[in-house]
Amino acid sequence: MRLKKKIRRIFDSILLGLLLTGMGLMLGFVDYEQNATICKKVEIIMHYGHSEILIPESDIDSLIRQQSGVIQGLPMWRINTEKIERAITKQPYVLQANVFETYPGDVHVHVFQRQPTLRIMTETNKGYYIGDQGVILPINPDHPARVLIASGHIPDACFVGSSAGSEQHPAASANSSRLLSDLYKLALFINRKPFFKAQVDQIYVNKNGEYELIPKVGDHIVLLGNVEDLEDKFQRLFIFYKRGLNKIGWNRYNVINIKYKNQVVCSKI
């Protein structure tokens, strides 16, 4: 009986050794095959969401070439996907990038673009976007985005110390950052309301630092005041549009004032 157990232990040990050797050979073969695999294709997939194109696929392709050269045709072991991913993510219009390999020899590049919320024109006509999460973005003259515009008395000083494309939120800026924060808050509110997203063409900051709305339809401006009680102010304006201007005409008044609580004051200049 003891002899049988001893023989069984020897047999099990030999079997385990053979299995481990086989697995090592298989892993070595797979590793060799992967190292010998040539990159056959680079697939770039852009995710733009609901925004227009701010960074085209061709820019990403050029960036990859600048960073790593022409990777198609290279052995897969020479392609540093993490390095390419980091380079793409540093671009101001890119929210997220995922670069990975698949067998046999494909490199996939998924790029998620930031969504611009508001275009700001300063007093000296310098332009910026405020994108999702409040990130300040530069203007790409070759690929403008059709978004809500803010103009008027917006000093360049608002953007001092704000690196375009960084994770810095306007509210983190000093001094006049309150202005950017308020404009961003107002733009988000308007964009969430389908009626006003279609109706409001521009936000104007007057010399008193108050906000005026310039509509797409109607020969009037809307005096909003500050960004407090936005739900109440826009609800009053919506009711006035539907029950008032729809009946008497959209060009009846030049000024519609909703700054004051429970009031809609109209005047003709």
pLDDT tens string 106-145: 999 999 999 999 999 999 999 999 988 888 888 888 888 8
Give the architecture-level CATH label for domain 116-267: 3-Layer(aba) Sandwich (3.40)
Average pLDDT over residues 206-228: 94
Phi and psi, residue 250, nearest 5°: -80, -10
What is the sign, positive or negative, of the torsion defined by CA atoms of 97, 101, 105, 106? negative
Segment 145-203, tens digit of pLDDT: 899 999 999 998 887 655 554 444 443 333 347 899 999 999 999 999 999 999 999 99
User: Average pLDDT of the chain?
Assistant: 83
Domains 41-113 and 116-267 belong to one CATH topology: no
Strand pairing of 211-215 and 200-205? antiparallel
CATH superfamily of 41-113: membrane protein fhac (3.10.20.310)
CA angle 260, 261, 263 (to 5 degrees): 75
Average pLDDT over residues 194-217: 95
Q: What is the pTM of this model?
A: 0.76
Tell me which of 77-86, 102-111, 221-230, 238-247 is least confident.
Answer: 238-247
Domain ranges of the chain: 41-113, 116-267
pLDDT at 29 over 90: no
Give the pLDDT confidence score for residue 13 in this predicted structure: 57
Give the pLDDT confidence score for residue 116 in this predicted structure: 92
Give the pLDDT confidence score for residue 243 in this predicted structure: 86
- CA–CA dist 11, 17 (Å, integer): 10
Q: Is the peptide bond before 92 cis (omega within 30 degrees of 0)?
A: no
- CA–CA dist 117, 139 (Å, integer): 13
- CA–CA dist 214, 231 (Å, integer): 18
Segment 71-105, tens digit of pLDDT: 899 999 989 999 999 999 999 899 999 999 987 88
